[in-house]
Structure 1
């Protein structure tokens, strides 16, 4: 029996709807990795500059990765930084790039991250090698040689000192490797110059605390010819203390980080020099290393030394 043309059309339509030609969503598209940047205090211009550099890099490479930026209230808020690591693990990030507030206290949290399958890269402040070994963790470090940078800056200061001149040092957090290394670099430069370190105390990277401690140092040691600060925030605190003591131009000051406020102070002659560890690129170097490890998890873990340069009034004028 002949089928009507209308019935044939209906049959063809049903076959077409149930055939293999149905479009399927593309589930094979590669998933972009999510990278978390965890820094120290964003109130410190150095770390806000670091965040800006990382965000700019991500904006220039949006197809390569997504970025989550985190920071803590101040340099000493270790518990919050540990909590941030745990939060990023829970958020299923693929990699954590961290500038640890403490070289020892963050290691157990980062071990948990690695156990959860998260790639971890250490920037700025090197994690403690003995604690890493005790925890059975290998984490690559991307950052400058802080001791060499501090020694270079200290040696530049030494050109303006005489043997036997009294100097004071404002240290960073003493459990931070970069703080330890900067103190060692300053100490070595002063010893080489024959200068006398009459006092050294930790101001924990903080400007206000540095101001208070520097004022006390100047009062107790009026013979002080220079103050060596392990970061620029503390150097600015020392500037205020020197001014309050009526000794501007008499006490030389150096810092470390090359933040914009210190560049201006160098131009004005309030600070002699600082060290530039290129904060705007430091996180970028760490992110690039993390992406390489995400691409090849079996790649050999290696440290990457980044540049650190002496900044003076002459170099800023170029």
Structure 2
């Protein structure tokens, strides 16, 4: 029995040592695994737009989705929008939701140039890259919030002036026109109004009335009917976007002035292209909506690769579109 115990004890020691060595090996392997660099993941970019009921933003979404499909190895895309361009609280909520969902970048066409800035500041503080497209954020509010957010988009004033100049070439000095403005707290709405005004002033054409239809077709139709009745000598309606131009066109027809009152717009949506071909709308401006979000996405991807890159605005093209251009 004594000899048996002498043999058993060394064997137990051997098993214990083997177990300890095995644990050390597993610990070492675990340490190696934890020290290894995590697998790189594709950045996730959120596109947040204004009204999805507006054809311009539908075109923007399709352009962004087409770009992502062609670059599916480079990034993931989440597309969002609000039903009504006046629903600022919902757009703010979308920004917060995208940050909570861990997106790496937000490309946003803000419904308001001021109201979205605090939410976007919080997104920046959370480490999210933010690119502003379409409607420029208010510079004073950005300064107050102490953040820089680059703007990627067209010179809206210059685009509206091109449309206004073309309309003026079809009118004569002293003629009266009316203007349908966008949301007055939106930078692009203000700039388009200023572009129209500059063109009319240069041609000595009188703006008889100017009111905000808040980018909406139905509101534009109602306002235009009222304004045409109040100003029966009006020769043209300048609408700050194409949805309002279509509403104005319907008002002109209902007022029995088709062919007498010209209509111009801004955005170059499909329905207005057709109306221009048919001679019902005189002109619009093309800010290349199918590429506008793409320009912003590409800038965001560059900043994700180089976080220390200098932030700067980037101007995108805007072109006059007439019947001659659509032949």
Taking structure 2 as the reference length, what is the TM-score of the superposition?
0.90
SS at match of 1:122: strand
Which blocks of at least 5 consecutive residues in structure 1 are unaligned?
Answer: 1-10
Query: Does 1:91 pair with 2:101?
Result: yes
Match of 1:239 in 2: 249
Match of 1:113 in 2: 123
Task: Provide the C-alpha distance between the structure 2 equivalents of 1:260 and 1:124, rounded to a whole number of angstroms.
Answer: 18
Query: Does 1:135 pair with 2:145?
Result: yes
**Residue 27 of structure 1: how far off its partner (Å):** 5.8
Match of 2:4 in 1: none
Query: Does 1:50 pair with 2:56?
Result: no
Task: Provide the C-alpha distance between the structure 2 equivalents of 1:169 and 1:239, rounded to a whole number of angstroms.
Answer: 13
Match of 2:304 in 1: 294
Query: Does 1:124 pair with 2:134?
Result: yes
SS at match of 2:237: strand
Task: Provide the C-alpha distance between the structure 1 equivalents of 2:120 and 2:43, rounded to a whole number of angstroms.
Answer: 18
C-alpha distance after superposition, 1:137-184 (max 9, x if no partner): 100000000000000010000001111100000000000000000000
Match of 2:219 in 1: 209
Task: Provide the C-alpha distance between the structure 2 equivalents of 1:174 and 1:89, rounded to a whole number of angstroms.
Answer: 28
Match of 1:193 in 2: 203
Higher helix share: 2
Which blocks of at least 5 consecutive residues in structure 2 are unaligned?
Answer: 1-17
SS at match of 1:40: strand
Query: Does 1:259 pair with 2:269?
Result: yes
Task: Provide the C-alpha distance between the structure 2 equivalents of 1:312 and 1:190, rounded to a whole number of angstroms.
Answer: 18
Deviant stretches of 4+, over 6 Å: 18-26
Task: Provide the C-alpha distance between the structure 1 equivalents of 2:61 and 2:183, rounded to a whole number of angstroms.
Answer: 21
Match of 1:315 in 2: 325
SS at match of 1:49: helix
Task: Provide the C-alpha distance between the structure 1 equivalents of 2:38 and 2:188, rounded to a whole number of angstroms.
Answer: 44
**Residue 29 of structure 1: how far off its partner (Å):** 2.6
Task: Provide the C-alpha distance between the structure 1 equivalents of 2:173 and 2:66, rounded to a whole number of angstroms.
Answer: 47
Match of 1:278 in 2: 288
Aligned residues: 302
SS at match of 1:51: helix
Task: Provide the C-alpha distance between the structure 2 equivalents of 1:205 and 1:104, rounded to a whole number of angstroms.
Answer: 17
**Residue 31 of structure 1: how far off its partner (Å):** 1.1
Task: Provide the C-alpha distance between the structure 2 equivalents of 1:35 and 1:93, rounded to a whole number of angstroms.
Answer: 6
